[in-house]
Amino acid sequence: MSATTPTSPSAIGRRADDRAALGLALDELLSARTTPPAVFALGEPTHGIAAFPLLRNDILSRLADRGFRSIALEIDFLAAGIVDDYVNGSEAAIDAVLSTGFSHGFGSIPGNRELVEWLREYNAGRAPSERVRFYGFDAPVEYAGAPSPRSALCALADRLPKALLPASVAELDGLLGADAEWTNQAAMFDPAASIGDSDRARALRLIADDLADALHRAGPSLRAADPTGYAEAVIHARSALGLLRYHAAMATPGPDRIGSLSGVRSEMMANNILAIVEREQRRGPTLVFAHNSHLHPRVPDQPAWSNAGALAAFTLGERYLFVATDATPAPVPGTLQGVLAEATPGRALFPARALAAALSPAIASAEPIVRGHFPLTLADLDGADAVVFITDTDGAQHQYWLTSSPA
């Protein structure tokens, strides 16, 4: 594998360890496509290692020169508005922006402060049509549970004209009850501790559906009168319905209960990605960044649930581009990571199909390097457009989580 032949990884790889080389590698990747992407999905194999968000930042700086006008991260869709306000000039303190605008503790991950500061500087003095917008695309949930749907339901009701509100909206406060009933962390692993399938929760799902239906029917006139208000109402409708489905899944016992929760979360993620694409379609494509496992457009073995990448790609087709990443600070010879490290001086991009053809079908993957690391496998190349492999990292993981497990 060390010899440079037309089919060796070292011949296939394209350097990506400086700005110019990365730009050329991206140009080659994008020009090889017959359909320009609406989404450039960039995965990472784990959270908390600086090399991956720093790579993301470098890629965004190059894609912004090529017409990309937004970035979406694996954080709460609603909370991320705080960050977007900041990168568009708000006077908030950046430490507050990082702590409140990034869910999951991701504001403290190395590379995210640099991203926010770069976006603010890039957008300064530019017309709105040329600015790079900031989004989250994750559901408004955390690893240990989910919030009450109160905020989303009440915000949706507040944005609808009174004449459109169903009579049942008067029952909202009583049905919602205390927020602590919804946020009980024991419900994450004990369905009996969740109220998500109670009579109250089922009644709230009907009200949420009625509110969303009223919003949809009045959409043309509401959007014409107040485009921003209408867009916010749509976000709250989507969040309210998704949260109630998530709570219902928490209350449902079963052998694959966590898989069901993941499926509901993935559906919310995909719907948010598609909403961003729709919102940004006149301005330019979007760079989406999250764990490889969320963004890979693989078709699941079982139809019970799909990840966000598969759901988004199902709608976007060839307009969805996926690049996986991996790294190793200590290559193990003979493994997939060892072969890629041998072909990578610092960072390199490999077209996935050509790379798969250059590898032995029997090649194994190395062991995880840190908690939450899912090393790339040969099967992961199927459905990916490219792989970026990194050798210039020590693999140190910043502990961004507090008591819950990273995902």
Radius of gyration over alpha carbons of the chain, in Å?
Answer: 22
Percent of the chain residues topping a pLDDT of 70: 97
Report how far residue 352's alpha carbon sits from residue 326's, in angstroms, rounded to the nearest whole number: 13
pLDDT of residue 402: 59
Q: Please enumerate in sequence order all residues whose Cβ is within 8 A of that of 95, keeping only pairs 6 or more positions apart, or say none.
A: none
Q: What is the DSSP letter of 347?
A: E
Residues 50, 56, 59, 64: is their CA dihedral positive or negative?
Answer: negative
Which residue carries 């080659």 as its tokens? 28
Structure confidence at residue 305 as a pLDDT band (50, 70, 90): confident
Amino acid at 138: D
CA-based angle 182:251:187, to the nearest 5? 50
Tens-place pLDDT, residues 244-280: 999 999 999 988 888 899 999 999 999 999 999 999 9
Tens-place pLDDT, residues 200-237: 999 999 999 999 999 999 999 999 999 989 999 999 99
Structure confidence at residue 282 as a pLDDT band (50, 70, 90): very high
Amino acid at 44: E
pLDDT of residue 251: 95
Q: What is the pTM of this model?
A: 0.94
What are the C-alpha distances in Å from 345 to residues 29, 349, 366, 374? Answer: 19, 11, 19, 22
Here the tokens at position 233 are 């109402």
pLDDT of residue 382: 96
In angstroms, the first-to-last Cα distance of the chain is 34
Average pLDDT, the chain: 93
pLDDT of residue 300: 79
Over residues 174-182, the mean pLDDT reads 96
Tens-place pLDDT, residues 184-193: 999 998 999 9
Class of residue 358 by CB neighbours under 10 A (exposed 0-12, middle 13-18, buried 19+): buried
SS3 263: helix
Tell me: pLDDT of 5 over 80. no
Over residues 153-159, the mean pLDDT reads 95
Over residues 65-70, the mean pLDDT reads 97
Structure confidence at residue 59 as a pLDDT band (50, 70, 90): very high
Report how far residue 81's alpha carbon sits from residue 133's, in angstroms, rounded to the nearest whole number: 10
